[in-house]
Structures are given as structure tokens and as C-alpha cells.
Structure 1
Amino acid sequence: MNETTSRPDIPLPPTIRSRYIEGINGLTMHVLEAGFETRGRPCVLLLHGFPELAYSWRKVMPALGEAGYHVIAPDQRGYGRTTGWDAAYDGNLAPFRLTNLVRDALGLVFAFGHRNAHVVGHDFGSPVASWCALLRPDVFRSVAMMSAPFGGPPPLPFATAELPAKPKPEDPVHRELAALPRPRKHYQWYYATRAADADMHHARQGLHDFLRAYYHHKSADWKPNQPHPLAAWSATELAKLPTYYVMDLDKTMAATVAEEMPDAATIASNQWLPDRELSFYAAEYERTGFQGGLQWYRCGTSGAFDAELQTWSGRTIDIPSAFISGRQDWGTYQRPGVFEAMRTRACTRMLLCELIDGAGHWVQQEQGAEVSRLLLHFLRAAADEASSQLR
């Protein structure tokens, strides 16, 4: 039996369909699609983060489709039912770098016959959306970033011609985190380790319960999530982050979130991610593991592709932009200064910036109706701005 036809149905609303698109930058991409009933609609591309899937947009897609958009949400490279990627730890990381993820997105938009699109990204999908806007503003006409603000491309050294060459300085923060009275480590560098995938894929509590605790810990349901700006990228400031961001040095992510596993009553009362929906995530990650998504973190923490990204040093996002996050989401502030840089320097036409109360990190799942309302408001504002410029 064909592998794709043997997989269980996805628990989707009737207005969303699942399909496969071949020949996308070496991938066969699994895509969820809404608003496919008529042609000629403007396109909205939705990019998920970690550890999610195209499925994380299930509460937003019907509203966008009903409003007249053609909505496409892929399982991105390394995730879910999309195939053609290699997640071997010792394999080639280059296909997972940001510029190639932009190429994936561009190829998918073109494959559907669109010359332009609006792009929305959540979590690690947010930097992909940001780089789509930065690199191809002729195609991506607006960008909405969710839960992960964009501070701009990495800078190039400047005015150094008369100075002696210096080696790249080591970031001392990791050594300083490990030396704290309560020794700590940053989750992104943990995600870059060889052990991280197995730690989560084969979690002692089981994969389903690992994901339940992980999603709970980063949601508004976990009451200690009361984020605020941090003063600096320093060990003492980063240690203020919850343990799902700055972990205890000797613990895995599975052990970290197990300490905050919700009780049976809390799970039963969860309306934004009931067990039936969580089971779909668990089944998909049971099949694929997490390494495909972890490769993205390895690209970032290794610095291997920084020089390529510096090609666009100083460039800004000049198309209409928006930022949407949960008010109880630490992701807004986990990189000190980036939220502020996004609004003052990196994005020159920011039309909307909203923090939604009652939502943590999984904003489009926790508060799907409000995210849909804000996205539609932003898309209309972007269209109005474009129309006024034509007059």
C-alpha cells in the first residue's frame, strides 16, 4: 500500500482539504488548503513552527477561506507528511537554512499559480515569513509574524579597514548559564545536540504525554507565564525565563516539561487542544521523530549560515507588516531587544502589533477566532494601503 494513502485521516473542518504537491525544491509537500472553491482569490501562505504542523492553522483557515482568500498551509521541510528531506544528524544541514526555506515557500506559491501572496508565520515559521518578505517583496505583498519578532538580518562588521583583524568573539552566556548557582542551559543549544531528538521521541512519559506537557507549559493555561522584557542577553537575565526556554543543565526537555504535566481535570477541560487533536500531533511525531525540525535550530546555533544572511545586512522589511502574539507568551521577549528593534528599525510599514490576552505561545490554537479577526483586519489594511498607492 502507498505510504501516503495508509496514513490516517486528519481531523479537519469540512472546508479544509489535504493534498500533496510534488516538485517543490526537491520535496513532495503535504499541504492543507482552504478557499479552493473558486479561482482568482488572493493567496495567504501559513507557515507553522516547532513542534507543530500545518494542522496548527486549522482554526484560522476556515475564516480566511470564507473571507475570499486561497489559503495554503504546508508541513514545512522536516515535518509531518512532507517528504524529500534527510534528517540524519550527520547529514547536510544546508537544505534547512533560512534562504532555502524561503525557496520552499516561493516554489509552493508558484506551484499553485500565484504570482504574489501574503505570508504569515508562527514560531520558527515567523523568521521564514520574515525572510520571505525581506528577500522577495515583489512576491510577498504583506507579512504577519507571530510569537517570534524579527530584528533584521545579522550585521556586517563596519569600519574595520584600519583595525587589526580579530577572531569572532565567543558568546560567554552559555558558560555563564552553566556556572549559575542553579546551573542552566539554553533550549536552542540543547535542541542542537545529538541526544535531543531521542530525548523527546522516546520520552519516558510517552510521546503523547510529553507533547501534552510541552504545549501546556508554554500556554496561557500555565499561570506563571507572565512575560516581560529582559534587560540584556546575559545569564542572570535569561535565567528569568521559564525552564522550557532556559533549562536546568542536567535535564532533558521531556524531564523539564514533565514537572508541569497538567492533571486529568485540566486536560479534560482543555478546549483549544483536546486529546483527540493532540493525538494527531503525537501520531505524526511518533512516525517522523523531531530531528527534521531540530535541524532548523542547528542551522541557527551553529552560525554556519550567518555569512550568507549578512548579504542582506541593513536591509529592512518595507512591505506592510504585522506582529501578533499571546500576552502570556515569553517568545515575544526571549531575545532581549528584538521586539523593540522590529517595531523601530526592522519593519518600516508595521500596520498592526497586538498581544492577545488569554493566549500563550500557541496563539492561533489558543485564540483562533481572535487571531483570525486580527489577520483579516491586517489583510484588509494592507490591501487598502496598496489601493491608495495606485490612486
Structure 2
Amino acid sequence: MRTRHIKTDGLIQQVLEAGHEDANAPLVVLIHGFPELGVSWRAQVQALSQAGWHVVAPDMRGYGGTEKPKGVANYAMLNLVGDMVDLVRALGKAACTVVGHDWGAPVAWHCALLRPDLFTAVAGLSVPFQPRRVKGPPTAAMAAISKRAGLGDLYISRFQAPDAHRPLDADPATALRKLFYAYDGATPVDRRSTGFMPEGVALLDTIDDAATLPPWMGAAHFDDYVQAFSAGGFDGPLNWYRALDLNWSSTRFVQDQRILQPALFIVGEDDPVRHYAGSAEAGLKDWVPNLTRSVVLPGAGHWIQQERADAVNALLLDFLGEL
């Protein structure tokens, strides 16, 4: 594996890369989520490259060694998809398979939705495809549903605040440790986050101060995250959430469009994201009719490509082998 910087159209992207770089080698792009980095895919980069694929895992816009433009509009979905289009072109490839986890999953789904000629197969981890809702912007709907159910505030609603990144920036190591702990399958159920918090209680205050690193997170790996977020901050990553309503208003042209490429979905059985995105799992086949498999990994939490690296590797290799 090697790390390098690639100049694309208007953005310098840092990527973790392995495998054959010649034009004939099939390409897989792995897209991370929040609060992650390209290195979250190390096990997959190794396994897929050893199987003959050219594998690239970028630090996404606003993260790690990739550039971090200012302003919410720069983090709209069309920009995030555009970054992946530019990356594939810069790598000299005419097509690729795209795989995304957490926030990377919506980006991967939209890569397939918007550029089916370029992204010829797609896999989503943890977050199913969620079609554009016709009833209005998503943030108002999230707030209304949470209020009606008496659940408090969903963290996504809290992230809309312009200063929401400041508590995370104040102590990146503590913020990251708590976030990884709260969404991990090894964390006791009563200490795992639901994604909701009482009014007036901060997100980090809902997570046990005694939170420990997950079993799969070594000290050196954790330090990769701490250094990256200490240097780059959380403002750019939270702009992905702040752009949700902008994404809704700018994607009317794909209303009711389905993803027709071969697809795979993998989710952890105990992933807290299922509390607020799980309803989309049941109808996934309606919107992704060529979904080959939808797999629930027993006992796994949210960070499945690291929690269950061997299982995810096997599923991805089976999926890629069928293409």
C-alpha cells in the first residue's frame, strides 16, 4: 500500500492505493464516512489488491490529507460525486466499482445514480440508498419525526448549527474515542448511542466518559485519526450534514430514478444507524432492483469494514467476482 496526492479538477486528493495501475486493471474506489479517513479501508485495500484489483481509498473532501474548501455549498452531493468522477479520470480509467461506508455510502449510491456509465457497480455499507423525498427538505422532516416520537434531537439536526464543530475541535482525541465507542458492536447495548439526545444535552455528553477504543482500533491507528482531525478540524466533515437540504433542492432532476447497476448492501446487526436509516433497508430492492445481496452481519456495529474485516472482504470479493 502507498499514499500519494492526486491533482484532480480543482482539488488535491490524498489516496491510499494498492494493486495494478495499468489501464486494463479493474478499479475499485472505496469511500469512507464520518469521522473516518481513507485508512479505514486498509484491510480491504490489501485484500482486493491481492485479488488483482487496482484499489484506491481517498481521504474525502474536507478530511485528512485532501483539500478542505470553505463553505457549506462546497460539500454538496454534486461536488462529492464530482470528486470521484475526477479521481477515476485522473487514474486513467473509464469505469470502476464504487464502495461506500457511512456517509460514503450515499456518495457511492449517487455515483451510481448520476453516472452509470462510469460507476458500473456499487456496494453500500451501513447506510442503504434513500431516495429523494417529495414532501420537502430532509432536516425539517427529521426534526418533526424526532419531536413527535419524543426522542429528543437527532445528532444530524444538531450538526446543522454553524458552530457545531467547535466542541469536537476542542478535544479531537476525546471526541473520536467517544464516537467510535458509541457506534461499535462490542460496546454494551445500554452504552451504545441511538443517535438521539435530550434537549439541551450535547452529543458527547450522552456518551460515557469511560469510553474505550473499540477492540479493532489499535493505538497507532487511532493516532492517525487524532492527528488528521487535530490538523484539519471537524468543520469540513460537518458541512456534509449541513448540505443535506441543498442536496435535496439540487437533485430534483433524479426524482424517482432507480439505480440499475449490480449492487451489494452490508450492514451490522447492531448498527445504531439502523434506528434512523433502517426503514430504507426494507424497500432497497425497489430502488436498486439489481441488488444481488443484502447482508446483515450478526453482532456487528457501525464500523463494519474494520469490525468485521474478513467477512466484508469475503463479501466484496464474491461480489466483484460475479461482475
Give the alignment's TM-score, normalised by structure 2. 0.92
On the 8 A contact 2:154/2:196 being kept in 1, the answer is yes
Q: 1:289 to 1:244 in 2, by over 3 A?
A: farther
Which residues of structure 1 form unaligned runs of 5+? 1-15, 158-166, 227-241, 384-391
Shift in alpha-carbon separation, 1:299–1:274, aligned structure 2, 3 A:
same
> What secondary structure sits across from 2:131 in the alignment?
coil
Report the Cα offset of residue 56 of structure 1. Answer: 0.5
Residue in structure 1 matching 2:187, options 210, 213, 222: 222
Matched, 1:198 2:205: no
Q: Deviations over 1:250-280 (max 9, x none)?
A: 2222222244613xxxx5xx54101221111
Unaligned segments of structure 2, at least 5 residues: none
Paired residue for 1:6?
A: none
2:36: which partner in 1?
52
What is the one-letter code of the residue matched to 2:188? K
Pair 1:297 & 2:241 matched: yes
In the TM superposition, residue 358 of structure 1 has moved relative to its aligned partner by 3.3
Alpha-carbon distance, 1:175 to partner = 5.8
**Cα distance change, pair 199–170 in 1 and its aligned pair in 2 (3 A):** closer
Partner of 2:259: 317
Q: Are the equivalent residues in 1 in contact too, given 2:26–2:54 (CA < 8 A)?
A: yes
Q: Residue 39 of structure 1: CA displacement?
A: 5.2
- Match runs of 1:181-196 below 5 Å: 184-196=152-164
Instruction: Tell me by how many angstroms 1:281 deviates.
Output: 0.3
Give 1:254's match in structure 2, choosing from 204, 222, 225.
204
| Greater Cα radius of gyration, structure 1 or 2 | 1
Q: Which residue matches 1:20?
A: 5
| C-alpha distance in 2 between matches for 1:117 and 1:304 | 27
Comparing 248-257 and 357-366, the one that deviates more: 248-257
Q: In 2, distance between residues paired with 1:175 and 1:319?
A: 34
| Runs of at least 4 residues off by over 4 Å | 167-173, 175-181
- Equivalent residue for 1:174? 143
1:221-370 to 2 correspondence within 5 Å? 221-224=186-189, 243=193, 245-259=195-209, 261-262=211-212, 267=213, 270-300=214-244, 303-335=245-277, 337-343=279-285, 345-370=286-311
C-alpha distance in 1 between matches for 2:51 and 2:275 = 32
Residue identity matched to 2:155: Y
Partner of 2:177: 212
Q: Which amino acid aligns with 2:2?
A: R
Structure 2 counterpart SS, 1:144: strand
CA contact (8 A) 2:182 2:193 kept: no
1:120 is matched with which residue? 99
Q: State the shift of 1:176 in Å.
A: 7.1
Displacement after TM superposition at 1:313 (Å): 0.7
SS across alignment from 1:339: helix
Separation in 1, partners of 2:91, 2:138:
45
The answer to whether residue 96 in structure 2 is matched with residue 111 in structure 1 is no
